Structure 1
């Protein structure tokens, strides 16, 4: 990795949490300077503008989340066990270093949907990746006879993601985990209902 690439990666790593916490509009160049210890010229010498830093930060945040979840899921054997990783993980999102500033999909989508087309496209891509991953797991499980064959895969995924995202939203708004825990209890039952 070249020095320029190392500097870019350093900027991304140092600013990713700020963008995820404060959002694109709420993150200023002064925030980026404070987080990195670099000058404005150094930051913009490596990135064309704040948009480019924000896009790279979203990719970084999402990749960290995917890697974390995949690492745990790879230790599980059945699809049911793999799906149960979600409620186990999100139940503790306020203490999880990967999620403590929130889910990058939720955080970014609420801000970027109408105001930042490039970020909105990144979020849509991440959401589609998540949906496709779940769809692959469920279809494989149906084909293997691991779960009920009459599961409406698209409906299940839509409700699954909505429960997680809604639980996060409620927990962030109330600053209490009671609603998140109830949501994750329901999600666990919803996943277990797939069993044959």
Structure 2
């Protein structure tokens, strides 16, 4: 890997952590300079603007989240077990967030909903990926006879994402894993009793 590429990746990783803790608006270029040890020109050699760096940092953070889900969902034979594993990935955020500062999808969604349409679209794309993952699992489970045929895949996907991301937010604000534990237990029970067929 060329030195310039290594530097760019280091800047992106360190900026992602800063943005996730202090927000995109709350992080100044001087903060990124301090974290990376680069002068302003060194940062702008790799990025045309702070906005371009913010997008690259979000993409980096989103990939860390994707990796966490890929590991968490791997190896389950029954589709319901895989859906419950999806919940468990969120539950793990209390002790092991994918990035310092908590869930970068939630943090970016809250900050960018009205102020940064490009970041908002990036967040929406990740949420759409989650929705599609759950919809596909439900459809696969119905086809295998593991999930009740009347289950509305999109409704379940929205319920899971809204509940677990809400619990992530509460856990962070209240500084306790209890909201995540309660949300996980409630949804896992519901899925086992109302979604699972066999």
| TM-score, normalised relative to structure 1 | 0.93
Report the alpha carbon displacement of residue 184 of structure 1 after superposing the two structures with TM: 1.4
Where 1:147 maps in the other structure, the secondary structure is coil
Distance 1:97 1:167, change over 3 A: closer
Note if 1:168 corresponds to 2:168: yes
Matched, 1:108 2:100: no
How far does residue 87 in structure 1 lie from its aligned partner after superposition? 2.9
Deviation string for 1:125-160 (max 9, x for gaps)? 111111112111111111111111110111111111
Return 5+ residue gaps in structure 2 as ranges: none
Matches within 5 A, 1:43-122: 43-122=43-122
- Alignment match, 2:41: 41
Once the two structures are superposed, residues 20-46 of structure 1 have per-residue CA deviations (whole angstroms, 9 ceiling, x without a partner) of 121111111122112211111101110
Match of 1:123 in 2: 123
Report the TM-score, using the length of structure 2 for normalisation: 0.92
* Alignment partner, residue 189 of structure 2: 189
User: In 1, are the aligned partners of 2:55 and 2:119 still within 8 Å (CA)?
Assistant: yes
Task: Work out the number of aligned pairs and report it.
Answer: 196
Moved over 6 A (4+): none
Using a 3 Å threshold, how does the CA distance of structure 1 residues 100 and 8 change in structure 2: closer, same or farther?
Answer: closer
Please provide the CA RMSD for this pair.
1.5
Shift of residue 123 of structure 1? 0.8
